[in-house]
Chains A and B, each alone.
Chain A
Amino acid sequence: MKKYINVAFKNAGKTLKVSVAALMMLTVTVSCTEKELLEPTPITSLSDLQAFATPDRILAQVYGLYGSAKSGQLFGGRYLIYNEIRGENWLNVTSNGVTGLQTWNHTNNSSSNEPTNMWNAAYLAVNRANLFIEGLDKNPNVVDATTTSQYKAEARFLRALIYFSLVNTYAQPFNKDAGASLGVPLRLKGEVGSGNNNLKRSTVAEVYAQILDDLNFAEQNLPASYSSALLNTTRAHKNSAIALKTRIYLQMSRWSDVVTEANKIVSTTSPFKASTGVANALQANIASVFAAPYTTVESIFSFPMGDNDLPGTQNGLHSYYVPVTGIGDYSLNPAGVVGNPAFTATDARRTNFIKNDIAGDGGRIRLLKFPTGPVHKDFVPVIRYSEVLLNLAEAKARLAGTAVDASALALLNAVRGRSTTAYAAADIATGTALVSAILTERNIEFLGEGFRSIDLQRNLLALPAKPTVAAIPTTSPAYIWPIPQTEINVNKDCLPNP
């Protein structure tokens, strides 16, 4: 019996020893793994502390800013679509509530998705630009001073582009009252934590002043050119900032400023081209501008797409305009510019881009300017050289008053003449007729590129009627988009649009 007890005791003692050892081991193991268990670092995201650690990451952030502006809700597709379908050139085919139906019908309210989503995308891009500019200041020695200035200039170029898209969409046109109306909140500082929600809307004039300030800085600090045609198209350089300024001044009807800026990049005589920086000029054949690789010198600034960087479902331009390979939500309105006699039958822009014989489509008129589907890899054009020429032509024509400015006509013809028969001097009798011809030419040249409602609004014109949709007069609340309710709810200083 004693023996058994002894054995039991011995075994128990042994077991106890083993167990205590195990427990100790466990404690050691646990203290070792505590850090590993409780402080893992993300594998696929980068902590904000590391984002400015290397020159490569800073450069990747620059590209990230372009990528933000390229959101499908903004320049990746929808911003252009909205500007198109608010005009008269398009018919809605699919009645799909998520592809611009309310915008086309002018029935957006402050809770509607489209104004809300675009606002969100735009301000996200603005905040990223602001944070980036501040981050460069906080991390001064990672890249040199020149590069820092260049990156800041790119950020400010994009910020200007985005504020321009915001102020044109959510505020009254500058020309209504020289910018005295309420614009949009002007956020110029990086935002990260909670709070700081309240900020009143600056006036339209204040927003324009900021845009010009950003662009002037950009013009000073951007490089004259980059190392490749792709970069010259997809990153901002000096000429991009100048070209965008011509658009801003045109919007403000500051004609002589348009001329001053445009003259920096337009030669005095034909063939018109930029003599400094990137050699921006028209292409002989417009089709080449909209075909891969999309990087001709005519494309002063475009947003690129890639196999793995696409506009997203129901965002791509091709998706909206073309059936079968896209969804084809919108076809061309026969009563719109496509039916305008100035858009001749042999116009290269018609013969290349317009079709009405897609099988099963019931003879609808379709725009194939963005030909690539179902994977929508076409670059999104933002500034083309032809716009600069037409901006300059219009400014000159306006300055000349009732007289016909010959150089303005030459600029108009440079654009028109490459696609169809140019106007003879006899075709244009007055300065007014010249302006009118230029505006029509813009409608033809930029069809599908998101210029239409902007051009209508800067001229204080009603948004024209379409089949089943009445015209929207300048006095209508629907003339501009509502400030999103989500902003009004939280930003107590932000007034809604009436």
Chain B
Amino acid sequence: MKKRLLLTMLLVFSASIIFAQSKITGKVTMAENGSDLPGVSVSVKGTTRGTTSAGNGNYTINASPNETLVFTFVGFKPLSIKVGNRSVIDVQLESDVSELSEVVVMGYGSQSKKVITGAVTSVSGKEIATQPVQSFDQGLQGRVSGVNITTPNGVLNNAPVIRVRGTSSINQSSSPLIVIDGMPINSGDVSAGGYTVNNPLGDINPSDIESVEILKDASATAIYGSRAAAGVMLITTKKGKEGKAKLSYDTWVGATQTFRRFKMLDAQQFMDIKNEASRNAGLADQFFPSYNADGSLVNTNWYDYIYQTGYSQSHNLSLNGGNKDTKYSFSVGYTDQNGMLKKNTFSRMTGRMNVSHRLTDFITIGSNITYANSFNQAPNTGTTGAFSTGGLGRLPLVLAPNVSPYNADGSYNINRSANNLGLGKNLVGPGGYYNPLPDLELSKFTSENAHLIANIFADFKLYKGLVFRTSYGMDNTQIEDIQFSNPIHGEAGTTNGSAYNTYTNIKQWNWQNYLTYDFNVDKNSFTVVVGTEAQKFTINRWGAGRTGVSDPFFTSFQGSFVNNVVGSNYQSQNGLLSYFGRLNYDFDKKYLASFTLRSDGYSAYAVGNKWGSFPGASLGWRLSEEAFWKGSSISNTINELKLRGSWGRVGNTGVSDFASLSLFGSGLYGSTPTWAFAQAGNPNLRWEQSTKVDVGISYGLFKDRITGELNYYQNNITDLVLAEPQAPSRGVPNNSINTNVGSMVNKGVEFTLNALVLEKKNFTWNANLNISTNSNEVLALANNNADIIASTGGLESSNIVRVGYPVGSIFVIETRGVNPANGQRIFVNAKGEEVQYSHPGKWTYVKDGSTAPAITGSDRKVWGTGMPTFFGGFDNTFKYKQFDLGVFMQFSGGNYIYNGTKAGLRDQRAWNNHTEILNRWQKAGDVTNIPRLVFGDNVSNGSANPISENVEKGDFIRMRNISLGYTFKKGLLEKAKISSARLYAQVQNAFLITGYTGADPEISTNRGSNIAPGVDRNSTPQARTYTVGLSLNF
């Protein structure tokens, strides 16, 4: 520092001797909020004179009146000002938003956006940081073209379903590879089963993220080879910047509620409807009122006992700074979130330390370390079992409203021996459905992570432009799953209480070594990367179960129980060894090319099949850099135009770790150990391959005031690993052998547009629009293209994988309303004949009333795709003086949803119904879509077999986020040593425009299932969250 000062003084001094100059002083501030800008380089154009602004933004420089001062600072637009006769020149620098997007992080390197030839989308961390989400991936929803993200339901930290350019597999994962600061990490639900969901990506503090890059085509992803078929997400965390230490504090508090609850029958309506159904079935009335102590009718709204307003808070403190040798970024974060469901919580404490240090001119070392302790708690929400008789998504729809949750003496209203809710005065109940309160109040289901993600790296500058990097990283997650089910009632009501504790230790290490060589030969620029990567993944899981609690006093595994049983034990590992290379080339930033080759060896395949090669190539042409373009007037309108195209092949490793081997499993016969043939391996197994073709245009209009892209892609997925069915009489374990037989294709178009719509003195309006399409078609399946029927919760089969249709299409029996003559639902059988149903068990032809064969599952037909065919987002930021308003809409559509919940809402067993049931058919001539009510009827409304009556379109527009912020004026803050402050309020899920009648069209009961998407079955709805937040920079 001293040296630099000396040098500056020397320069200034020497310069002043030569020219007649006067002293100029001034202050540099940020245009955005007026805060001081230290470290800004101030120079006199055309000279060697220069200085930097001090801590308070002040600078002093000597210049003559005809000279020009140039102010430059990383992240801000440069500013040039002629000195003239002024001696004080205060300037405001505008932040250069586009600069951040200039450089795009790639695998094993980065590249200028202008010359990139692969399909990559960047999202700034700012877009995610203040959202009331648990994991950053939830915050990306609607923001990335070609990437469809679905939140399955409103349960906290339920991993979103992410599909980059469509569903990329049938049996393996279709979720992208996640890479943090260059290190691939483990993703996917890590809870050991049970009711609590646990997305390990929730262990990453969204506030720590600088940017997220989504690699979509083969050119961009080929460097990740065999893991890239479903795309790659690169997370870059915040790094230290040269300059004075900056402390910032961000906080928000929020409240979460359900919205769009169903309007269920109240007690009186319930009794009227169910007794009508009983009489129609030839039975006596079965439903009778119960009364409270004060004489009022028992009228229970079960929603009230299950849902709540959940309050949440979040705090982040970060310190960021450095000098030219050492840069650091530290942060600590804490969030505590309570969901819309009682006992559904998520809390997380994180610490991050990113440091880099230049040891010598040749060696830079650094480390990125984050540790998180996250805690997930959820009751049985039905998320992990759609038909669970304790699922809280289901119980408020099923339980009788004329039954009280409590007895008069305050004890739970339960039937101990049948282990279900007491009947009250009703003669029949809905079956084995629990009173939800004991499990909510006395049981406990949690999943807690201790998660360390860390890497250390060293860069060796071997020669000008030649850098060798070695980087070793580890991703260690320890998960403690606790399930305690109370002995009174519910899940463990018949086993007198149970406790299952499971400990899981997931370790992954990754070691990368690569050389990067940047060099130019005249106008030819080259960047060459060659390297190796080794990775090992191990998982160890052990646990035990205990049943029969010896005294209700005990509420944990460590208490005293009568029986002990083995829990979920699991041990496995896999290894990956790779060699890769990439050449990026451009001529004069005009003609662009990139070639990638990766060779991966993976442990799961048999010897001889372990290695595979994954190439990628792309070409680009920046028309706008050509002389003829620049010379023509069109360049005034279209200042940037790039054509690009890519081809490549990547893979999907998602087979089980020892899939190629034939194995014997051990067990017990009584208390004697056994071995038994347990897996018929397939030594011929290979990667699933995705051959991707991509062509696109990037454009910039009116000096980049409008920018965007238009892409077309086609992914041919071949060698899909499918379970080839074996005749069960062969006795092959699981009756199938995994084989590379299937194929399918994804095609689509992506369009993005970013525009500075309006720019007035005090007002700006920025808008970003992205819209994407996707169509999927299955081309080949195992066993001569035999259909694969997919089920929900193992019970309801409403999806199919069939050649010629999108994967997981909705598959139902066609129905044609209710016959006005007799109130019976009209079904269409496989022959196309209309038959009608009268409960119990009477099927007749509509045309003549003669007996017809019963409708069965084999009368189903393909109804349409369960995956959206178009989706996108529209983000607007308005700024007026100190105010900013963000309006972010997300939309999706073209898909169908099997609304199985509706079958339950209209079921004529002793379940409660939606109030729409009041429109039932009552007399000849009534035109309605609700058939005549007959007690016990589980066929007419789709409980027995899925019917088209319950299929609905899934189109929606969601007001995903509205935020209103105020940035305080500087004067107010100075006394508190605050350099900037912003206060904001926002609503997540403000409203929804849809024709869908279920809880929410954005739903995935089967979560990440490739083959059963678009099903809504007893799911909890989505949540709406209101937050108020404050960001302070010191």
Contacts and interface: CB of A to CB of B under 8 A. Distances in A.
A127 interface: yes
A39 B607 contact: yes
B577 interface: yes
Contacts of A128: 676-677, 731
Nearest to A187: B729
Interface stretch (A59-67, A144-152, A246-254, A281-289): A59-67
Interface residues of B, number: 86
A33 B496 CA distance: 51
B669 A67 contact: yes
Nearest to A129: B731
A42 B675 CA distance: 14
Nearest to A127: B731
Contacts, number: 258
Nearest to A485: B858
Contact of A374 (B432, B495, B795): B495
B603 A38 contact: yes
Interface stretch (A7-15, A265-273, A408-416, A444-452): A7-15
Given A70-B669, A234-B669, A374 B728 contact: no
B431 A192 contact: no
A484 B726 CA distance: 13
A420 B658 CA distance: 59
B603 A40 contact: yes
A324 B666 CA distance: 32
Interface in B717-770: 724-733, 735, 737, 739
B727 A494 contact: yes
Given A38-B601, A192-B732, A375-B548, A43 B571 contact: yes
B456 interface: no
B921 interface: no
Given A37-B575, A39-B603, A489 B786 contact: yes
A491 B431 contact: no
A191 interface: yes
A95 B532 contact: no
A123 B729 contact: yes
B418 A60 contact: no
A310 interface: yes
Nearest to A11: B362
Given A374-B494, A487-B729, A308 B675 contact: no
B837 to A, nearest CB: 16
A304 interface: yes
Nearest to B464: A12
Nearest to A95: B431
A433 interface: no
Interface string A136-162: 000000000000000000000000000
B575 A15 contact: no
B496 A304 contact: no
Interface stretch (B124-132, B560-568, B973-981): B560-568
A234 B670 contact: yes
Interface in B641-694: 657-658, 661-680, 682
Interface residues of A, number: 94
Contacts of A63: 669, 672-674
Most chain A CB neighbours (cut-off 10 Å) among B416, B548, B728: B728
Interface string A24-38: 001000100110111
A402 interface: no
Contact of A306 (B416, B418, B664, B671): B671
A63 B675 CA distance: 7
Interface in B565-583: 565-566, 569-577
Interface stretch (A195-203, A208-216, A346-354, A386-394): A195-203
Nearest to B574: A40
Contacts of B415: 360
A33 B513 CA distance: 15
Interface in A344-369: 358-361
Contacts of B668: 67, 306, 308-309
A126 B731 contact: yes
Nearest to B680: A192
A16 B462 contact: yes
A111 to B, nearest CB: 6
B856 interface: yes
Interface in B80-137: none
B236 interface: no
B463 interface: yes
B460 A194 contact: no
A422 interface: no
Given A45-B664, A486-B728, A19 B669 contact: no
Interface in A170-220: 184-185, 187, 191-194, 196-199
Given A60-B675, A199-B729, A51 B664 contact: yes
A68 interface: yes
Contacts of A326: 494
B361 interface: yes
Contact of B363 (A15, A57, A358): A15
A15 B360 CA distance: 10
Contacts of B252: none
B732 A16 contact: no
A489 B571 contact: no
B602 interface: yes
B362 A12 contact: yes
B610 interface: yes
B672 A491 contact: no
Contacts of A51: 664, 675, 677
Contacts of B576: 37
A164 B1034 CA distance: 82
A230 B671 CA distance: 11
Given A95-B431, A124-B733, A128-B731, A307 B564 contact: yes
B321 interface: no
A23 interface: yes
Contacts of A60: 666, 672-675
A304 B669 CA distance: 7
Contact of B727 (A40, A64, A197): A197
A38 B602 contact: yes
A40 B573 contact: yes
A40 B657 CA distance: 9
Interface in B49-74: none
A305 B565 CA distance: 13
A328 B432 CA distance: 12
B671 A191 contact: no
Given A40-B603, A67-B668, A490-B727, A33 B534 contact: yes
A68 B362 CA distance: 65
B676 A61 contact: yes
A43 B674 contact: no
B536 interface: yes
B663 A46 contact: yes
A192 B682 CA distance: 10
Nearest to A123: B731
Nearest to B564: A307
Most chain A CB neighbours (cut-off 10 Å) among B513, B662, B663, B674: B674
A479 to B, nearest CB: 19
A327 interface: yes
A96 interface: yes
Most chain B CB neighbours (cut-off 10 Å) among A120, A305, A374, A491: A374
A60 B664 CA distance: 11
12 contacts: A15-B462, A26-B470, A40-B657, A45-B664, A60-B675, A63-B673, A64-B669, A65-B676, A66-B669, A67-B669, A185-B729, A358-B417
Interface of B: 360-363, 415-419, 431-432, 460-463, 468, 470, 494-496, 513, 532, 534, 536, 547-548, 562-566, 569-577, 601-603, 607, 610, 657-658, 661-680, 682, 724-733, 735, 737, 739, 783, 786, 795, 856-857
Given A11-B361, A197-B726, 10 more contacts: A11-B362, A16-B462, A37-B534, A45-B665, A51-B677, A63-B673, A97-B795, A196-B730, A304-B670, A328-B417
Pick the 9 closest A-B CB pairs, nearest first. Answer: A127-B731, A304-B670, A37-B575, A64-B676, A360-B417, A64-B674, A491-B727, A309-B668, A191-B730
